[in-house]
Structures are given as C-alpha cells and as structure tokens.
Amino acid sequence: MDDIFHPDFTTDPYWWEAAAPTTEGSQPPPEETDVAIVGSGYTGLTAAIELADRGHRVTVLEARDFGYGASTRNGGHASSGFNLGKASSSAKPSPLVKHLGLEHYNRLLGESVDSLLELEAVIEREAIDCDYQRSGRFAVAYTPTHFKQLVNKMTALDPDGSGGYRLVPRERQRDEIGSDFYHGGIVVERSGRLHPALYHRGLLHACQRRGVSLSARTPVTAIAADGTGFRVRTPTAELRANEVLLATNAYSQEPSPWLRRRVIPLASCMIATEELDPEVIRRLNPNRRTINDTKRILSYFRISPDGKRLLYGGRESFFTTDPRQSGRLLYARMTSVYPQLAGVRITHSWSGLVAMSFDHLPHMGTHDGIHYCAGCNGSGVAMMSYLGRRVGRKIAGDSTPSAYDGLPFPTRPTYTGTPWFLPAVGGYYRAMDRLDRWRT
Ligand SMILES: Cc1cc2nc3c(=O)[nH]c(=O)nc-3n(C[C@H](O)[C@H](O)[C@H](O)COP(=O)(O)OP(=O)(O)OC[C@H]3O[C@@H](n4cnc5c(N)ncnc54)[C@H](O)[C@@H]3O)c2cc1C
C-alpha cells in the first residue's frame, strides 16, 4: 500500500506548514518571577495572558519549541470540551450526576458551553487569524443503537430544544456527509473549527505583546518549595517563583510524579490527503462541519481551512507509532467511510498525545501548593484554553469558583504514568466496536 504516500509525503503535521513550533521571542529565564508556567500549549499561554493582564510577572518555560505539544497537532474541532459520552448515553441519571449531584453536573455543563463562547471572544479580542468558523459539528452513529443513544443524549442535553441540536436520520445523512457508512447522527450547531497552529501562534503573539517572559528549550526538571514560594530548576538555570502552574497535560513527565499518575497519555493520529477536486470535497462534507463518530476507537475528520483536503484523524494506535504505519491504518479507515477516496494519496501523517483521565473529566486544582490543569480527554481546544484562563485568574486572586476546580483527581494503585494497560484496552475496544457493528 506504499502508493498511498504522495511524493511530497512528510511526517510533520499539516498545520506546521502555516505555523511550526518556534523559538521566536525566546529568552533565558529571569532569576525571579511572580508565576512560572510549565508548558507552552493553549493552557500555559491562556493562563499567562490572564496573569499578565492583571499585572503579574509571568515566565513560560517550554521543554521543546513553543507549541511542540498537542496544541499544534490537533484536529481543530472546537467544541464544548466536556465528554458526556458515558454521562448521558441513556435517559437514566448518569453516573456523574449520581456522583457529583445534579447542581454540580449542571455547572460543569454550563462552563463547558462558556468555554466555546470564551474561545470565540479571545480570538476576536486578540484578532487571531486562525480561520475560526462556527461551522457546527456532525456526530455520526456507528450503529443503529448508537443512534438511539445519541437521541437520548440530545434529549438530556437539550430538553427544550433550544440548544441547537438537530437530529439527522440515516435517510437524510447525505445532506451532511457523502457516505452511507453511518446510521444517522446529530448536528450540534454550537461548535466550530479553526486552524490549531495559527490559533496557538496568535496566543503566543498575545503573550509577547504583554511582555510575558518566554523560554523555549528549557525543560523544568524539578520544583521545590522554599517556604514562601518555589525554586524551579532547569538544566541551565534556577528560577524563583511565588506560584507555579503545571500546564504539561499529556506531555507531563518531570517534574510532577503526582500529576503523571493521574494522566494517561494516549496517541491520536491524523492524515491529510493531497488536494482534491472541489466537487469531491463538496460531496464529502457539504456543510464543512467537523465530523466525529461514536466508535470507541473514534474517528474525527474535517475539510482543511483552504477547502482543498480532507484531514482525517483517529486513535488507531494508542501509542505514538511510525507515522507511515498509523497513516496506513487511518487510510484504511478513511476509505471504508469514503470508498470514493480509494487511490487518493496522503501528503501528511502525524500524531500527538491526548491526556485522558480516569474519570473522563478535565481537571484544574492545586496540589502541594502547585497549580495544575490537565486531562482534556481529546477535547481541549476550547476547554484547556478555558481552564488555563480560569487558573490564571485564580492565581491572580479572582475568587469566582469554577465547577472544575478541585474535583477529586483519581489515579489507580499501580499506575505511575506508563500506560502499560493500553494494548489490552485497545484490543477490548476494537473487539467491542466489531461486536456492536456485527449485532446490527
Ligand atoms: C492528534 C490530536 C488531535 C486532537 N484533536 C482535537 C480536536 O479536534 N479538538 C479538541 O478540542 N482537542 C483536540 N485534541 C486535544 C488538544 O489538542 C489538547 O487538549 C490541547 O492542545 C492541550 O493543550 P495543553 O496546553 O494543555 O497541552 P499541550 O499543547 O500538549 O502542551 C503541553 C506542553 O508542555 C510541555 N512540557 C511538558 N513537560 C515539560 C517540562 N518538564 N518542562 C517544560 N515544558 C514541558 C510540552 O513540551 C508541551 O509543549 C487533539 C489532540 C491531538 C494530539
């Protein structure tokens, strides 16, 4: 199947053609700062902006180039970021409602909606040219049973029909997708798409405009409390900070074993096709929405901002593997959804790490005096930006509570940050997906 690779094939993300991770504006860290932020993705940069706007001296320390992590590799689907899959797949009260109570659950939900609105507001305020469109999302059912579950979910989320959800039965799905592979779906109007690396670049420039100190290629190796603050160590320097935020998400290694034990790094992979005929594109995705399916090993796909390519993603391999290998797997998946694309070549295949949490929720909080935001569960464009802003405001003294702040952040007794169980989980999910389809 080597002929699926275009002669210009590269393993760099497609997005990096417009904005690759950079060291632009990097400087050695100062000896002292008010707040040290570890990690330069959406979380770290949005927190830095909030803090700088409130008069704090902020230093962002990034192990690699700015934007090396998931923030310049993702699909650019901007949705509310709260994975309610398990929570509301039936009409019965969800386990989450039972666990947290309805009032807390509704606050989580409300803030997840706010996350998209705030994303839009920041893009506008900072004039970030990242092709943001309120395109809507089409969530497609892999089986008839999944379709019923989507209907239940929609009823739970939007009981009075004012939330912008719309049912699309299988007979009408060609209005939304040029494929008969699925069993209908729902359109979620309150959802958008953007160019993830240009959004990241816009945040980086917003930090630069505010005088945030930015240090690339500066991995934080240790953080030690020193009575009134912290000593933050890197291989070449030590920095004193009053407060520290860990914004390392799925890329968390050092310096917090506590956080590592709570985050499961999972590979998500993407491919880009070569440029396609405009008419082919129009048929693949007539309304240019983001699309995701309901499989356990999910697929997500969209049209590129220039309208010329299909960008197809999925969790084909839970580990970061050879991009040629994951590219082949994704290609097979893409052509089973869109058989008309057989023979089309791919120009890019890449992967990144998403941060799963054991309770499927995003988290923010403080442990041993160190702030953290982590656990986007694959939906962090709006949500991690939101939590970054919330934690930034909190550090700056804003007492407005967030429903995400301080939620119990579970781990498992033998888990130290190396997800040895993923092959077994992946195999189980694959088998369950096959079984679901076979049952229909
Ligand atoms: C392939 C893929 C597709 C995705 N698609 C979507 C999507 O369509 N929609 C959506 O909402 N979400 C999506 N996501 C998730 C989304 O990209 C993330 O939730 C979001 O980018 C997380 O941002 P972050 O700032 O928390 O982490 P990251 O962007 O991962 O940044 C963490 C940074 O911390 C740095 N770091 C780690 N350790 C240290 C250290 N010790 N010292 C200094 N720096 C350190 C890393 O180098 C990294 O740059 C996807 C993710 C991937 C990988």
Please tell me the predicted confidence (pLDDT) of residue 76.
98
Query: 38 CB less than 6 Å from ligand 1?
Result: yes
pLDDT per position as a tens digit, 247-294: 999 998 788 999 999 999 999 999 999 999 999 999 999 999 999 999
* Residue 427 in this model has a pLDDT that exceeds 90: no
Q: What is the mean pLDDT of residues 6-25?
A: 97
Nearest atom in ligand 1 to 383's CA:
11
- In this structure, the dihedral spanned by the alpha carbons of residues 118, 121, 123 and 126, taken in order and rounded to 10 degrees, is -120
Question: Closest ligand 1 atom to the C-alpha of 64?
Answer: 47
Residue range 2-439, CATH number: 3.50.50.60
Convert the pLDDT of each residue in 331-383 to its tens digit: 999 999 999 999 999 999 999 999 999 998 999 999 999 999 999 888 999 99
pLDDT at residue number 92: 52
Q: What would the pLDDT profile of 291-330 be if each residue is shown by its tens digit? A: 999 999 999 999 999 999 999 999 877 776 799 999 999 9
Question: What is the percent of the chain with per-residue pLDDT over 90, rounded to a whole number?
Answer: 80
Q: How far is the CA of 178 from the centre of ligand 1 (A)?
A: 31
Ligand 1 atom nearest to 373, measured from its CA: 26
pLDDT of 125:
98
> In the prediction, which pLDDT does 82 show?
59
Helix (H) or strand (E) holding 155: helix 144-157
Residue 346 host element (H or E): strand 346-356
pLDDT-derived band at 91, boundaries 50, 70, 90: very low
Residue 425: its H or E element: helix 422-439
Domain ranges, ordered by start, for the chain:
2-439
Cis peptide before 423 (omega within 30 of 0): no
- Average pLDDT of the chain is 93
Q: Is 132 in the pocket of ligand 1 (CB under 6 A)?
A: no
Report the half-sphere exposure of 226 (CA within 13 A, side-chain side).
15
DSSP 133: B
Is the overall model pTM greater than 0.85, yes or no? yes
